[in-house]
Structure 1
Amino acid sequence: MSRKIIMPGGSGFLGTSLANYLVKLGYEVVILTRQPSSTKNHIRYVHWDGQTLGDWQKEIEGSYAIINFTGKSVNCIYTKKNKENILSSRINSVKILHESIKNCSNPPEVFIQAASLAIYGDTIDECDENGAHGTGFSVEVCEKWEEVFFEFNHEKTRQLCLRIGFALGKEGGALEPLLKLAKLNLGGTIGTGKQYISWIHIDDLNEMFLHAIDNNQYSGVYNATGPNPVTNKSFMETVRKVLGKGWSPNVPTPIVKFGSFFVMKTAPELALTGRKCVPKRFLNNGFSFKYENLEKALHEIIHE
């Protein structure tokens, strides 16, 4: 059996962490990137443009799995152009990967799409994989993304979609700016603080990907998040506690909106909305979490 894993768009925080994890387990990892082809830390980087067939498709033939991370970052201001790029980058990559699989005489055993919990919108109701979808731009992107992913079925390639939560890890990711603020004694509650954060330690997320790759029972949609989501208020309190910081002033919603647009150059909804998601299907499949407690997870990331 081939041990080659293809990771389109895998040069970001999540992809790099997973690639390093898989290499340590003995897998061959190939990351498809818009950068020039190269090899670094036992990982091969192969150039592609994310929307047309090219020499990169030779990597798909005979591979074990594809894990697609491709998509313009949502950490930006939602201008018309950025919205178009956010959607098209996701849709185009899924379509061309489907085409590449169809062209294979020996296709990969599994095609995994890294998606988002944002499909559930802004809600405090608990959401498992059957939860109602929300409304708004982010939800529409997620729906169209998944629709394109599942509209093609491959006879020999299992397909599943992981809706990923707020991944916590070292050296990057969404946690990094929050830690910087907290270290400056600016780690207070954001907005109302009632919005939920469905968090997961990066080690558990990597293990989820491994389970999805290696177990034929996995197919369809899964929430890839931890079992214990918390409110923003509780999350920031725990961050301050682990850092040894005391009380920090709350950041009112108008200030968050102003800072998002003019300082962080990003959409304020990323900080002001949330969802309370649980990984029901992973739990039903017997998945065991290493980090179920937020304080323990943050302590490992910050101090170990």
Structure 2
Amino acid sequence: MKKRIVLAGGSGFLGQSLASYLMERGYMVTILTRGKTATNDQIEYIHWDGVRLEDEWASRIDESYAVINFTGKSVNCLYTKRNREEIISSRLASVQVLQEAILKSNNPPQVCIQAGSLAIFGDTTEICHEDSVHGIGFSVEVCEKWEAAFFKNDWPHTRKVLLRIGFALGKNGGALGPLQNLAKFKLGGTIGSGRQYISWLHMDDLNEMFVKAIENEHYEGIYNATGPNPVTNKEFMKTLRKVMNKGWAPPAPAPFVKLGAYIIMRADPSLALTGRNCIPKRLQAEGFQFLHTDLEEALRDIIE
């Protein structure tokens, strides 16, 4: 019988990509979604609100081999008081209710993987590995509370893994989509100072990280889920323009980025103007083999 993987909050870009990847490897996939209960392309979707324990979705936890939690309000928004509260509460509530389901299971999953963020390191050009000091600011506060909630209690029969995910590059959306649109209209120049780092990785590598965390019982604790070769924003945008056959593009100074973020994108400008220089120290120590370590090659694989 096929093993079932439950993706909580798996309706977004990362979850959909991973669902396809898992099915290609012979797993059954159930996605817990705020949408309607349905079955599409052999993927089971079950409604949940990410807050309340309900029998329908909890029964799938009891039947699962692994649970992966992507749940959380998108940070791609203006950081109003209400949005800040929802960003934090959506993450903490999902961790709590999944914990309830797992601890009540007769046959609990052998592993629970929490999708986290490299934003815990704040805005820095210093090399960051798993044990590096945390940064400051709202995004750091979110990550610290999120991780603390996930690791607060012991789950006797379920291994815990948290992947701090970097700037994941994939087809048809995700973090790369908005930058491709800028380059397409000859606006893909350096953003802000251009010195902020982008800790990027290819979706193929990220999906394989999830599979390794599922299948390898030695994976436990916190991992920086990113590629081994972060680059500055200036280098990233230059490489993207090259791959898309676009010439020089005017830079976007910080004041214009802030104005555009607030008025047009309706998102906090820190998402574009800050960065971090992270490396996957623990994954490399575990012997993880990256398929994509060169930015130009990775972008060509995705775009061409």
Q: TM-score range by the shorter chain?
A: over 0.9
Q: Helix, strand or coil: the match of 2:114?
A: strand
Aligned: 1:16 with 2:16: yes
Counterpart for residue 243 of structure 2: 242
Which consecutive residues of structure 1, in runs of 5 or more, have no partner in the other structure? none
AA partner of residue 17 (structure 1): S
**Aligned residue pair count:** 303
For residue 206 of structure 1, report the CA deviation from its aligned partner. 0.2
Q: Helix, strand or coil: the match of 2:63?
A: coil
**Hey, what's the Cα distance between the residues in 2 that align with 1:244 and 1:63?**
46
Counterpart for residue 82 of structure 1: 83
- What do residues 28-69 of structure 1 show as CA deviations (whole Å, max 9, x unaligned)? 000000111001111100011100110210001131000000
Counterpart for residue 301 of structure 1: 302
Counterpart for residue 128 of structure 2: 127
4+ residue runs over 6 A deviation:
none
Counterpart for residue 187 of structure 2: 186
AA partner of residue 28 (structure 1): M
**Hey, what's the Cα distance between the residues in 2 that align with 1:165 and 1:171?**
18
Q: Helix, strand or coil: the match of 1:113?
A: strand
For residue 105 of structure 1, report the CA deviation from its aligned partner. 1.2
Aligned: 1:102 with 2:103: yes
Preserved contact between residue 117 and residue 277 of structure 1 (Cα < 8 Å): yes
Counterpart for residue 272 of structure 1: 273
For residue 195 of structure 1, report the CA deviation from its aligned partner. 0.1
TM-score (norm 2): 0.99
**Hey, what's the Cα distance between the residues in 2 that align with 1:140 and 1:250?**
31
Equivalent residues in 2 for 1:137-286, closer than 5 Å:
137-286=138-287
**Hey, what's the Cα distance between the residues in 2 that align with 1:51 and 1:152?**
18
Preserved contact between residue 121 and residue 135 of structure 1 (Cα < 8 Å): yes
For residue 218 of structure 1, report the CA deviation from its aligned partner. 0.3
TM-score (norm 1): 0.99
AA partner of residue 35 (structure 1): G
Preserved contact between residue 170 and residue 301 of structure 1 (Cα < 8 Å): yes
**Hey, what's the Cα distance between the residues in 2 that align with 1:166 and 1:121?**
14
**Hey, what's the Cα distance between the residues in 2 that align with 1:19 and 1:66?**
12
Preserved contact between residue 101 and residue 108 of structure 1 (Cα < 8 Å): yes
| RMSD (CA atoms) | 0.7
Q: Helix, strand or coil: the match of 2:10?
A: coil
**Hey, what's the Cα distance between the residues in 2 that align with 1:36 and 1:271?**
34
**Hey, what's the Cα distance between the residues in 2 that align with 1:152 and 1:42?**
34
Preserved contact between residue 2 and residue 26 of structure 2 (Cα < 8 Å): no
Which consecutive residues of structure 2, in runs of 5 or more, have no partner in the other structure? none
The percent of aligned pairs where both chains have the same amino acid is: 60
**Hey, what's the Cα distance between the residues in 2 that align with 1:241 and 1:163?**
29
AA partner of residue 56 (structure 1): W
For residue 222 of structure 1, report the CA deviation from its aligned partner. 0.2
- What do residues 203-230 of structure 1 show as CA deviations (whole Å, max 9, x unaligned)? 0000000000000000000000000000
For residue 2 of structure 1, report the CA deviation from its aligned partner. 5.9
Aligned: 1:46 with 2:70: no
Counterpart for residue 70 of structure 2: 69
- What do residues 49-107 of structure 1 show as CA deviations (whole Å, max 9, x unaligned)? 10011021000113100000000000000000000000000000000000111101110
**Hey, what's the Cα distance between the residues in 1 that align with 2:173 and 2:186?**
20
Q: Helix, strand or coil: the match of 1:287?
A: coil
**Hey, what's the Cα distance between the residues in 1 that align with 2:162 and 2:50?**
19
- What do residues 101-129 of structure 1 show as CA deviations (whole Å, max 9, x unaligned)? 11011100000000000000000000000
Preserved contact between residue 2 and residue 62 of structure 1 (Cα < 8 Å): no
Q: Helix, strand or coil: the match of 2:52?
A: coil
